[in-house]
Structure 1
């Protein structure tokens, strides 16, 4: 059975910095195993859209942040496809390890 990688972004409100910004985390789920990690991006809670999992607004900074989130998403999908094409075992651990390297 082929499992599909699920990628979500969420705003971790309990870890706000001194400017009131909270980190944006990424959660990946594959075959009911999950891994989450910080994207290294921060945003004020008022600018985060929970439903779309992206920042709200049209400023250059918001566009750049949303582009960075899309790049993370695309990289994870590329890694999943690469593992599938190699015919090896596709595990959440392997996807995460390749993403971090």
Structure 2
């Protein structure tokens, strides 16, 4: 059974800047699963046939790169599910692609700066912050980046990667603990995602030994 991956524009959700979200639709066994890619584009700069953003778009290279990455990860998830030789659905493909999501409850200790922020907004109730979509959260991050002059595409995914690599792994936190803090369903997901960081640390350690 073939897996089909299609990108499409959600034009009814075009924002004030004339950009509309790019969604991804996975079709398998005549069932569909659709989700947001977190990317936005001017509809005039979208090539539906080639499934690419035209060069006229300011962030064309970055968006195309992200779309390619998503497609690669989905195909990888599909392949791994096929290897298991068990029946699976389009939702299983999506869940395997996301990887980082898990249904188990997590108790995660926070650093002092994070605790200080939580205390400022704590007013009782089940949640400290208003619950919003990942897409809306990412749009807020972009606004903050523009205001403070950060020339990076800030997203929640980038935040997770930075926390895992710069804050945890580069401070010698064991991979097992990193996996638990990120809520990964298996150690393999963590190793596949952050193995290069560990390799770089090994190389740096060897260089220090050579110099001693």
Task: Provide the TM-score with structure 1 as the length reference.
Answer: 0.91
Q: Which runs of 4+ in 1 moved over 2 A?
A: none
Checking the alignment, whether the CA contact within 8 Å between 1:29 and 1:92 is kept in structure 2 is yes
Deviations 1:24-76 (Å, cap 9, x if unpaired)?
A: 00000001000111101001111111111110016772111101101000000
Q: Which residue of 2 aligns with 1:98?
A: 96
Q: C-alpha distance in 2, partners of 1:59/1:100? A: 27
Checking the alignment, whether the CA contact within 8 Å between 2:8 and 2:23 is kept in structure 1 is yes
CA RMSD of aligned residues (A): 1.4
Structure 2: any 5+ residue segments left out of the alignment? 100-212
1:10–1:76 Cα change, 3 Å: same
SS of corresponding position for 1:52: coil
Does structure 1 residue 69 correspond to structure 2 residue 67? yes
Checking the alignment, whether the CA contact within 8 Å between 1:12 and 1:24 is kept in structure 2 is yes
Which residue, 45, 60, 72 being the options, matches 1:47? 45
Checking the alignment, whether the CA contact within 8 Å between 1:80 and 1:95 is kept in structure 2 is yes
Higher relative contact order (CA 8 A, sep 6+): 1
Larger radius of gyration: 2
> How many equivalent residue pairs?
99
Q: Which residue of 2 aligns with 1:36?
A: 34
Task: Provide the TM-score with structure 2 as the length reference.
Answer: 0.45
Which residue, 1, 6, 9 being the options, matches 2:7? 9
Q: C-alpha distance in 2, partners of 1:27/1:11? A: 11
1:97–1:7 Cα change, 3 Å: same
